[in-house]
Amino acid sequence: MAGPADHVDWPTVRLTGPDRRATLEFDTNQLPSRVVVYRYPRVGVDGVPDETTGTETICGFSRPTATCSRTGDGTAPARVSVAIEADDLPYLVVHAAWPLLTGRRPGADVSVVSASWVIRVDKVRE
């Protein structure tokens, strides 16, 4: 488990061609049960966004044209694909969570594992 950093470095995603999606591959075969995308217009000198300027989208998985989609069949790493709109805010935080059963009997405790990824969108016009 890692706590918040004092400085955030934002890896860049360069959008080219007609596909305007960022795809993240996880180090697990289990599909996340919840994914939230946070979008921010800017960050401070330390790379940390001002949370009051952002938007939050809970990814719906029932429609393939949703803002986010997830793929995986349990035999390969799970992936989440996030749509990037032309007027999208350039700083994205993708947060995913998975339930972990700590026992196999009915009523067993459930814990949650989560992770976040940061992405800066470098838009390319064609």
Q: So where are the chain's domains?
A: 19-101+111-123
Residue 73: what pLDDT? 78
Q: Torsion angle of alpha carbons 29, 60, 84, 55, nearest 10°?
A: -120
Residue 58 to residue 51: CA distance in whole angstroms: 16
Q: Are 22 and 92 in contact (CB under 8 A)?
A: yes
Q: Smallest Cα–Cα separation from 59: which of 88, 86, 80?
A: 80
Residues in the chain where the model's pLDDT stays below 50: none
What pLDDT does residue 8 have? 87
CATH 2.70.98 fits 19-101+111-123, yes or no: no
